[in-house]
Structure 1
Amino acid sequence: MSRTGRICFTDSAGKALFSIPDGGFLRLSYGNGDENFALCHRLDETHAEIDGVRQSLKGFAQKMEQNKISFAPA
């Protein structure tokens, strides 16, 4: 399990959107105007720990799209 490098975030189709460094933050923006920040750690090329939850990057994007939450580098 690597804790170095960058985390490449994708959309739900797997298209690369942006990357952040391991240990970087995402800004989550909700439809009601609220924002939150999530600490991210790289697990491997396609998985990360986002706000303490281990998940696939594609699955994370699918959840964000379903819940109408946008995400971007902080």
Structure 2
Amino acid sequence: LPAVCARMAADAHRHFNEAHAAMARCTPRAMRPARLMGASYNALLHRLERRGWARHDPVHVPKWQKLLIALRYAL
């Protein structure tokens, strides 16, 4: 299972990069919700990778990090 999860994470990183490149071609205001959502899911993916794939306890992004993400993309 960890090997499969690692491959899926690599795919997710590639998709995040492709989405970021696509959003760069659009107006920032129109992409604000998409950037916010992408940054939130990217933070979650990084936490999953740091925790490791063998554990099954839930992973979350702390409120302080969510607030920083919101502030970054709200302005």
TM-score (norm: length of structure 2)? 0.28
Which structure features the higher share of strand residues? 1
Which structure features the higher share of helix residues? 2
TM-score (norm: length of structure 1)? 0.28
Which protein, 1 or 2, shows the higher relative CO under an 8 Å CA cutoff with sep ≥ 6?
Answer: 2
